[in-house]
Amino acid sequence: MVTADTPVPDGSGSPDGSGTPATSADATGLCGFIDSSPSPFHACATTAARLRTAGFRELDEADGWPAEPGRYFLVRGGSLIAWQSRARSTDTNVPAPFPARPFRIIGAHTDSPNLRVKQHPEIDSAGWRMVGLEPYGGAWLNSWLDRDLGVSGRLAVAAPSGGGVEHRLVRVDEPVLRVPQLAIHLSEDRKGVQLDPQRHVDAVYGLGAWEDGAAGGFLGRLAARAGVPAESVLGWELMTHDLAPSAVTGADGELVSAPRLDNLATCYAGLSALLDTVGPKVSVGDGADSGGVADPGAADPVLVLFDHEEVGSMSARGAFSDLLGTVLERIVLARGGGRDDYLRAIAGSVCVSGDMAHATHPNYPERHEPRHRIRAGGGPVLKVNQNLRYASDATGAAEFALACERAGVPLQRYVHRADLPCGSTIGPITASRTGITTVDVGAPQLAMHSARELMAASDVAAYAAALAAFLAG
């Protein structure tokens, strides 16, 4: 166990003995991933592009799936699941069952708290053209003020061929929106203002009035940006993002300042772990796709990235949905297994639910459990809650502790103050939906749910290395 009061391992147990965890992930890579992913839909697109490069093939849920082992993924809205299904081992000494081979799963979430566009967004107020916004999830509203904001998300449009609905990703990286702060002279006591989510988070778009018919309205401009006629836009999920690029900061470059660390940092670390685990792309005809997994009896690696965690996960693509369970069952069925093989696979599977963790705040140390200090730069965090706001049990904790040991990175153990309400994540939902042993973990950060968050650069590689060691089993 590592706390602020005990020495932190120096990583000398890393596979190459250099003290640097073996991983392709680093802080610069994380910044690029985040800046490519302003919305859950873009996070899936960014992930999908990297998976394709590594030889993963996209499947459609409406199609029959190939029986051949291989690298696959599918996207359901703002959620994505990727896996490597390996062939039956030719080694007769391998005890692992086939087709009931278990899975090792990394879960994370693609969504982050932000301000989202209302259905009738055009508002005229005091000579300003405004865009109506509302908070998504537990956005820390004060952090969204006085920032240059872009817009991203997806449009659902009538298919040009007639019949059906198609989706278009849309992204505006110009500073078109801003939620202006109230001047200090207009506050009642000059100590701050209480922000009302209904009245105080609409964004300035320009001067004048929408009713002048300026340029086809807000959605009309976005439709033009997406290359579709405005009248074809039937639905949308649009949100704002801070335009300041993610950056490696701090006195010696030891920090990462970025939006959406919660939870794109885990999406990035989990994706890096999966790609590092499966290894280089295999050629067609290589047969058993076991690249990167030394033990042919080991479990098959899975990465699942859920949308809608910040609003409770209860949707057709959130952690409460059937996404993970049905995909795992279909993998077993595609191998030639049956329901019994699926249930046997589930019984042997383990899931690491990765989300972020609260580093001990230097200005508010009293808000943290005094004997469970979490140090930024101190390595991945095991999150435990007796009231099951986190899914971690002794078995899951041991699995992740072993993974950290194999990766040569320190492990920190987090407990929330018993007199403060603890947040939750996809871990308890995943565990209860599937019956899979699940452990909640994260990387330390400050300012969770702010428009701009902060973490240690070294934790990016340490986190990804631990996740890779977990996947490799």
Site residues (vs Zn ion, CB under 5 A): 262-263, 355
Whose Cβ is closer to Zn ion: residue 263's or residue 315's? 263
Count CB atoms within 10 A of the CB of residue 371.
10
Enter the DSSP assignment of 359.
P
Q: How far apart are CA 377 and CA 417, in angstroms?
A: 21
- 3-class SS of residue 65: coil
Q: How far apart are CA 106 and CA 337, in angstroms?
A: 23
Contact 446, 356 (CB under 8 A): no
Q: Which two tokens stand for residue 319?
A: 């952690």
CB of 359 to Zn ion, least distance (A): 14
CB of 261 to Zn ion, least distance (A): 9
CB of 259 to Zn ion, least distance (A): 13
CB of 336 to Zn ion, least distance (A): 37
Whose Cβ is closer to Zn ion: residue 43's or residue 96's? 43
Whose Cβ is closer to Zn ion: residue 238's or residue 267's? 267
Pairing of strands 114-125, 128-136: antiparallel
Whose Cβ is closer to Zn ion: residue 35's or residue 309's? 309
Q: How far apart are CA 221 and CA 176, in angstroms?
A: 11
Whose Cβ is closer to Zn ion: residue 39's or residue 263's? 263
CB of 381 to Zn ion, least distance (A): 13
Whose Cβ is closer to Zn ion: residue 50's or residue 260's? 260
Residue 158, burial from CB neighbour count under 10 angstroms (0-12, 13-18, 19+)? middle
CB of 12 to Zn ion, least distance (A): 31
Exposure b/e, 185-201, CB count within 10 A at least 16 = b: eeeeeeeebebeeeeeb
CB of 433 to Zn ion, least distance (A): 18
Q: How far apart are CA 42 and CA 340, in angstroms?
A: 37
Distances (CA, A) of 319 to 67, 76, 276, 343, 361: 26, 12, 25, 19, 30
Whose Cβ is closer to Zn ion: residue 156's or residue 415's? 415
CB of 455 to Zn ion, least distance (A): 13
Whose Cβ is closer to Zn ion: residue 253's or residue 312's? 312
211 CB contacts (<8 Å, ≥6 apart)?
124
Whose tokens are 């990175």? That residue is 409
Q: How far apart are CA 167 and CA 323, in angstroms?
A: 20
